[in-house]
Every structure is written in C-alpha cells, then in structure tokens.
C-alpha cells in the first residue's frame, strides 16, 4: 500500500495507459479528501488540487469504477453521474479465517493469565487512533479481567509505547508484526477483536473488520459511517464513536465479564461474514455483473466514449443499475 504522499506521483504514471486503452478504477478510499481529514493534505494546497484533478481524470476516462463501500460509490455517482460504477466490497476468505483456527502457539503468543484478551492486529498509524485504546485500558478498574495486546508496527508505534509507559498501564502489551499467514490463528486465539479509526472517514470500511467477523470473535469497532452500520446491522459487536474513551472502556468491560455476550456477538459476525462477505460470493457477484454488462455488446476500443452518452441513457446491464441503487 502506497503512503498518501506517494499516491499522486504514482497515479500520474498511469494516465497515458488509462487514456490509451481505458481502465477499471478500483476505489478503496475517497482520496484526496480522506488525506485532508487525516491532516496529511490541506484542502487549499497544490497537492490537493492536483489530486482532485487526477481523481476526476481517472473517473471520466475509466470504463468502470468499483468502490469498496456504498458511501464511496454514492459519492462518485453524485459527482460523476455519467460514470459506470459497481459496489465491489472487500471481503474475507471464510475458509482461512474461523473460530476454530487457534493453535497452542497462538494462545501462547497472546498470553492470557486467566483474563479476557482484547487484540488489535495491524498498522500502528495515523488513521487508527491507538492512543485512545491505551487511554481506555487505563480507565478500567483494577478488578477488570482484561488484557489488551497491540500487535504490529508503524509510524505511531513509538508514540503509543511511550503513552503506555508514561501512564503506567499494566494491562497493555505489545507484540511485533507477524506474517499474515499467522493471522487466522491469532485472531481466533483472542476473545475480543479491536477495529479502531481515529476519526470518521467517509467510505472507510477497514478490511480487518471482515477478518474479525469471520473469526467468530466479537468486534469492538471505533468508527462511524458504513463500518458502524455493518456491525450494528449484523449485531456483531459494540460500536463506539472515534475518540470516545469512556464508551470504549465500557464496551471492553462489558465484554470482558460476559462470555455469553462474546459468544453471541461472535457467532453473529461469523454468520454474516459467511453469507455476505465471503470473497467467493463477492467475486461471483462481480463476474455476474461484468457478464451482464458485456452481454450483447462489444467493448469499444476507446471505452471512455461510453461516458459521452446522455445521462438519461446510462447504458445497459447491472453496472448502470447498480450505480443508481447507491444514490
């Protein structure tokens, strides 16, 4: 994954290819607007203006734009109504991740000491707001039977480690990054899985949310928007607003002392992952949409000409209809 400051130069190298042969744009975040919300770019700066121009250029000259969330697709449709769009969400390999994937080694690595283990596994970056996890752990009463494990690395790890040391939070432990092949066993070995965001980012649905749900463990999600809707709709965990230390502490305490609640929420998340967010199912939907979109038509040599047709005739197939459903 490219760092935000590297995305604009990288994108510019693809413009001639898109112009020559057409393209399919996969949109995982609403850049550059997300970069502004994270404080990486200024909305009046030259980099933001260039990023916005590149965004529009790619959209207008793409044959198809896929968005990983309905919020992203709706934003694109609202600003570029003549573009073809399709909601192609992230997902999870439900055969690789599951509640039965824990191993003696993963249990030993996480430790337990008779306590409930809440695990965050991922990037220690600017978008995650891990300092709030530390503050919530510090707010728990000494009697709370919970340990928090923060696994991974990143530009903010030193800040988070220093915060734990300065606040003398005994219940927080750190582990280094682990290979992704070990993630199914590690997630299944935890009792609670943490999926935090530092602030509301429109369209953002962390991919680790799907892995947590497939692992059959309750999620504590610190986010708003579509990610929060997924957890609430499927009753797969507890949603806390970004930055809400007290709410996060209450969620951790409620789950740490109620095994039945953990079991119910985890089972709900697993069922939802299998039914709605299995990668095989998602891939089949995309293939079906593409086949219907191509049905009876020949892909033009210059696919961007599709976007010059009237807005009242957006084109055949599920691709056009799918964009209308997301309005």
Report the pLDDT value the prediction gives residue 81, as an integer from 0 to 100.
87
Q: Which of 219, 245, 221, 212 is nearest to 131 (CA)?
A: 245
User: CA dist 105 to 109, 149, 272, Å?
Assistant: 6, 16, 28
Task: For residue 269, give the H/E element and its range.
Answer: helix 259-276
Percentage above 90 pLDDT, the chain: 55
Give the mean pLDDT of 27-36. 60
- Give CA torsion, residues 15, 16, 22, 24, to 10 deg: -30
Task: Determine what percent of the chain is predicted with pLDDT higher than 70.
Answer: 76
* pLDDT of 12 strictly over 60: no
pLDDT(324) > 60: no
Instruction: Give the phi and the psi of residue 258 in degrees, each rounded to 5.
Output: -140, 90
The b-or-e profile of 189-223 (16+ CB within 10 A means b, else e) is bbbbbbbbbbbebbbbbbebbbbbbbbbbbbbbbb
| Confidence check: pLDDT of 269 > 90 | yes
pLDDT of amino acid 291: 79
Q: What integer pLDDT is reported at residue 190 of this predicted model?
A: 98
DSSP, collapsed to helix, strand or coil, labels residue 208 as: helix
List, for residues 101-121, the tens digit of each pLDDT value: 999 999 999 997 889 999 999
CATH top-level class for 104-276?
alpha beta
Do β-strands 192-196 and 85-87 pair in parallel, antiparallel, or remain unpaired? unpaired
Q: In angstroms, rounded to a whole number, what is the distance separating the alpha carbons of residues 248 and 138?
A: 11
Across the range 278-298, mean pLDDT stands at 77
pLDDT of residue 289: 77
Give the model confidence (pLDDT) of 170-190 as tens digits: 999 999 999 999 999 999 999
What per-residue confidence (pLDDT) applies to 39? 61
pLDDT category, 10, cuts 50, 70, 90?
Answer: very low
Q: How confident is the model at residue 42 (pLDDT cuts 50, 70, 90)?
A: low
pLDDT in tens, 78-99: 888 888 888 888 899 999 999 9
The domain segmentation of the chain, as residue ranges, is 4-91+279-325, 104-276
Higher-pLDDT residue of 327, 286: 286
Q: What is the mean pLDDT of the chain?
A: 81
- What is the structure's pLDDT at 317? 32
Q: What is the pLDDT of residues 132-154, one digit of tens each?
A: 999 999 999 999 999 999 999 99
Q: What angle do CA 287, 302, 323 make, to 5 degrees?
A: 45
3-state secondary structure of 189: helix
Which range, 271-280, 295-304, 316-325, has the best average confidence (pLDDT)?
Answer: 271-280
pLDDT tens string 192-236: 999 999 988 888 899 999 999 999 999 999 999 999 999 999 999
Nearest alpha-carbon partner for 185 in 113, 279, 121: 121
The pLDDT confidence band at residue 6, using thresholds 50, 70 and 90, is: very low
């Amino acid at each position: 994954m490219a760092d935000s400051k590297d995305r604009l130069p990288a994108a510019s190298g693809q413009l001639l290819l898109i112009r020559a042969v057409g393209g399919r744009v996969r949109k995982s975040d609403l850049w550059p607007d997300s970069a502004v919300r994270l404080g990486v770019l200024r909305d009046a700066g030259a980099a933001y203006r260039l990023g916005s121009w590149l965004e529009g250029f790619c959209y207008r000259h793409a044959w198809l734009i896929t968005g990983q969330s309905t919020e992203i697709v709706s934003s694109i449709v609202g600003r570029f109504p003549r573009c073809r769009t399709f909601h192609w969400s992230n997902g999870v390999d439900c055969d690789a991740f599951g509640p039965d994937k824990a191993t003696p080694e993963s249990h030993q690595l996480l430790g337990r000491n008779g306590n409930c283990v809440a695990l965050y596994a991922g990037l220690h970056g600017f978008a995650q707001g891990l300092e709030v996890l530390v503050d919530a752990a510090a707010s728990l009463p000494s009697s709370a039977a919970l340990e928090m494990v923060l696994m991974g690395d990143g530009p903010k790890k030193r800040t988070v480690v220093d915060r734990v040391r300065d606040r003398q939070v005994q219940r927080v432990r750190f582990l280094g990054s682990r290979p992704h092949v070990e993630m199914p066993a590690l997630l299944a070995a935890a009792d609670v899985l943490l999926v935090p965001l530092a602030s509301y980012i429109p369209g953002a649905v962390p991919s680790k949310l799907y892995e947590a749900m497939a692992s059959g463990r309750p999620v504590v999600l610190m986010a708003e928007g579509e990610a929060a809707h997924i957890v609430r709709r499927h009753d797969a965990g507890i949603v806390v607003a970004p930055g809400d230390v007290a709410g996060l502490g209450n969620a951790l305490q409620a789950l740490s002392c109620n095994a039945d609640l953990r079991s119910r929420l985890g089972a709900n998340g697993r069922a939802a992952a299998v039914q709605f967010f299995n990668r095989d199912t998602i891939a089949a939907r995309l293939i079906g949409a593409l086949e219907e979109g191509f049905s009876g038509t020949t892909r033009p040599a210059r696919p961007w000409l599709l976007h010059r047709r009237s807005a009242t005739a957006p084109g055949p197939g599920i691709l056009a209809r799918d964009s209308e459903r997301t309005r």
